[in-house]
Structure 1
Amino acid sequence: MKFYTTQHPYYCGIDLHARSLYVCILDANGDTILHREIKALPQPLLDLLAPYIGNIVVGVECMHCWYWVSDFCAEHGIDFILGHALYMKAIHGGKAKNDRIDSYKIAHLIRGGNFPLAYVYPSEMRSARDLLRRRTRIVRHGADLKAHVKNTTSQYNLPPNDLNLRYPNAREAMRDRFDDQFVQRNIDLDLDIIAFYNHELSSIECFIEKHAKHHNGSDYHILTSFPGIGRILALTILYEVGDIARFNTVQDFASYCRLIKCKAESAGKSYGTQGNKIGNAHLKWAFGEIAVLYLRGNDKAKAHLLKLQKRMSKAKALSALAHKVGRCVYYMLKNQKVFDEKRFLAG
């Protein structure tokens, strides 16, 4: 957990909502200068902050509509910090809660050096990352639709099929599968949505890849040098990581990717682990996928996994391999070096 400790003459805490803002401004002594609710629009916010520009820092909690406040502050030369939502909840949780109290507590956290920082993702790559995340959700929904088709076949005791519904011929083969017209219409609905998803997702993937080469083509090509990292996994790592320089150590990177577990200890006693869900779920998924794909058709990698399995279960060995992959990717991006399998397996 990192805290914001820079001192300013004034501190502004904003309780952010989609349609309104509750703004609290404190001076260096902790006295309340301003405490007011305004509409979530740039001009009212500028009117409040204008007298303090150059001497104030603005902090908001990380929630879905922080983008415009960050861009607003960047445009007007105002220092902006983003608070980690989970850590902030743990720090300033109290008996009473409302927008006025929340904005006051945010301002006090900033002033006291207890404001837990989240990463302010660069605006030029932010929308591409959101589109890629949206693509992932659509892919998973498509998988649910395919599972529904398969489960319906079993439900009506029809012979199982191994058709890959990604392909048009396979989808057409399912058009007359059921005698009941309502069941068939249900399946046709799934097939039509799957067909639409396949067309749109292919277009979106090409679109994102084209812009990824513009945003950070060097890192993209370095990532694809790793066996098992294809287009989607490379794009996921590229856009979820952003700037690799924001991680001071490989341990910070592994923690952010949920590749390690943190011990919970008190008075010399261990209480297991905690915080396993803190970090980036997309990177956790990506490195798990890479570990499995790296093993495919790779005898040296399989031998390395068997070596790990002598000390732990297969599941833990795969997790250890995913951690190793994550560390490798960190150094590849940090040092701008392509994958070296000899060093990877020897390490």
Structure 2
Amino acid sequence: MNFYNSTHRHYCGIDLHARSLYVCILDQQGETLLHKEIPAKPEPLLNLLEPYLDDLVIGAECMHCWYWIADFCEDQGIVFILGHALYMKAIHGGKTKNDRVDSYKIAALIRGGNFPLAYVYPRSMRATRDLLRRRTGLVRHGGDLKAHVVNTTSQYNLPPNKVNLKNVSAREQLGRTFDDPLVQRHIDLDMAVLECYHRELSQVEWLLEKQAKKHQPTYYHLLKTIPGVDIGRILALTILYEVGDIRRFESVQKFASYSRLIICKAESAGKTYGTQGNKIGNAHLKWAFSEAAVLYLRGNPGAQKLLQRLQKRMGKAKALSALAHKLGRAVYFMLKNEKVFDEQRFLTS
């Protein structure tokens, strides 16, 4: 966990909401210079901050509406820092919690050097990353629709449909499966949504790949050199856009932690009390490296032998996690040193 510890003349904490902001500004001595609620618009905020712009830092919690505040600060040349929501325990604790108290606590955390930092994702790549995340959610919903078709077929004791629903002919074939028109309407609805997803997502994927070649062409080329990831280009895109800039990670350990590839132990007085904090980190990277590990094993005898060696020590589930961790470490050094994937070194190290 990193904390912001730079000194300024003015420290501004903002409690963010969709339609309003509660702003608190402290000076170096901790005196409250301003404490006010305003509409969530750039003009009122700029008017409020204008007397303090000579040396100001603004901090806000990492909630859904921080984008425009970060862009506003970038345009005005103001230092902006983003607070890690899960680490900001000081805000959520205490007897009293309201917008006024929260904004003051944010400013006080910044002034005291206890403000836990989250990554301010670059504006130029932010929309593409969000579009990729949206695409992942829609694909998973498409998987639910396909599972619904399978379950409905079993529900009415019909032979399993061994068809690939990615194909138009397969989707048309399911239009004549059930005698009951209402049951058939269920399936027709699933097929209509899948048809829409197939048409739209193919265009989205083309656009995402085009953007990746513009934003981070070197990263994209390097990630495509990993066997298995080349099979699923979406994994390469996911890793690229969730990482952003590999230089923001000081070490491979911090990158592995951010990617949820490590076990977080809870210890006290030499005793282990299980794990905690396993949900802190990037869930998208965790998924991408787990999928990449499975794809890497397909048709790869060397990788399968490596998995077998790991299984002898820790079992299959932990062995797959260890392989995902190993891939994550490899990706860190690939992107940092701008080197292609060295499979021989990967399998023997």
TM-score by structure 1 length?
0.99
Once the two structures are TM-superposed, the CA of residue 91 in structure 1 deviates from its matched residue by: 6.1
Q: Deviations over 1:290-341 (max 9, x none)?
A: 0000000000110011111110110000000000000000000000000111
> What pairs up with 1:270-281 in 2 under 5 angstroms?
270-281=272-283
Q: Is the 8 A contact 2:91 2:105 kept in 1?
A: no
| Residue 327 (structure 1) aligned to one of 326, 329, 338 | 329
Distance of 2:90 and 2:275 partners within structure 1 = 17
Once the two structures are TM-superposed, the CA of residue 90 in structure 1 deviates from its matched residue by: 5.6
Distance of 1:250 and 1:65 partners within structure 2 = 30
Amino acid at match of 1:129: R
Amino acid at match of 1:235: L
Distance of 1:55 and 1:228 partners within structure 2 = 50
User: What SS class does the counterpart of residue 95 from structure 1 fall into?
Assistant: coil
Amino acid at match of 1:82: L
Distance of 1:5 and 1:194 partners within structure 2 = 50
1:105 corresponds to which residue?
Answer: 105
Q: Is the 8 A contact 2:59 2:80 kept in 1?
A: yes
Distance of 1:119 and 1:134 partners within structure 2 = 20
Distance of 1:14 and 1:91 partners within structure 2 = 12
Q: Is the 8 A contact 1:7 1:111 kept in 2?
A: yes
2:209 corresponds to which residue?
Answer: 209
Once the two structures are TM-superposed, the CA of residue 186 in structure 1 deviates from its matched residue by: 1.1
2:243 corresponds to which residue?
Answer: 241
Q: Could you say if the C-alpha distance between residues 301 and 115 of structure 1 is closer, same or farther in structure 2, counting changes exceeding 3 Å?
A: same
Q: Is the 8 A contact 2:91 2:102 kept in 1?
A: no
TM-score by structure 2 length?
0.98
1:182 corresponds to which residue?
Answer: 182
Q: Is the 8 A contact 1:23 1:34 kept in 2?
A: yes
Q: Deviations over 1:174-203 (max 9, x none)?
A: 001000000001110000000000110000
Q: Could you say if the C-alpha distance between residues 18 and 91 of structure 1 is closer, same or farther in structure 2, counting changes exceeding 3 Å?
A: closer
Greater Cα shift, 18-27 or 158-167: 158-167
Distance of 2:80 and 2:15 partners within structure 1 = 14
Amino acid at match of 1:137: G
2:252 corresponds to which residue?
Answer: 250
Q: How many residues in Structure 1 have an aligned counterpart in Structure 2?
A: 347
Q: Deviations over 1:27-77 (max 9, x none)?
A: 111110000000000000000111111311000000111000000000001
Once the two structures are TM-superposed, the CA of residue 217 in structure 1 deviates from its matched residue by: 0.5
Distance of 2:218 and 2:176 partners within structure 1 = 49
User: What SS class does the counterpart of residue 260 from structure 2 fall into?
Assistant: coil
> What pairs up with 1:282-321 in 2 under 5 angstroms?
282-321=284-323
Q: Is the 8 A contact 2:16 2:22 kept in 1?
A: yes
User: What SS class does the counterpart of residue 102 from structure 1 fall into?
Assistant: helix
1:133 corresponds to which residue?
Answer: 133
User: What SS class does the counterpart of residue 176 from structure 2 fall into?
Assistant: coil
Once the two structures are TM-superposed, the CA of residue 273 in structure 1 deviates from its matched residue by: 1.3
Amino acid at match of 1:333: L
Distance of 1:169 and 1:95 partners within structure 2 = 62
Amino acid at match of 1:316: K
> What pairs up with 1:13-52 in 2 under 5 angstroms?
13-52=13-52
> What pairs up with 1:129-208 in 2 under 5 angstroms?
129-208=129-208
Question: Which runs of structure 1 show a deviation greater than 2 angstroms over 4 or more consecutive aligned residues?
Answer: 89-92
Amino acid at match of 1:311: R
Distance of 1:169 and 1:94 partners within structure 2 = 61
2:6 corresponds to which residue?
Answer: 6
Q: Deviations over 1:126-167 (max 9, x none)?
A: 000000000000001111011101100001111111111111
Amino acid at match of 2:249: F
Percent same amino acid at aligned positions? 71
Greater Cα shift, 228-237 or 282-291: 228-237
Q: Is the 8 A contact 2:3 2:113 kept in 1?
A: yes
> Runs of 5+ in structure 2 lacking a partner?
none
Q: Is the 8 A contact 1:128 1:208 kept in 2?
A: yes
Distance of 2:233 and 2:83 partners within structure 1 = 32
Distance of 1:157 and 1:307 partners within structure 2 = 43
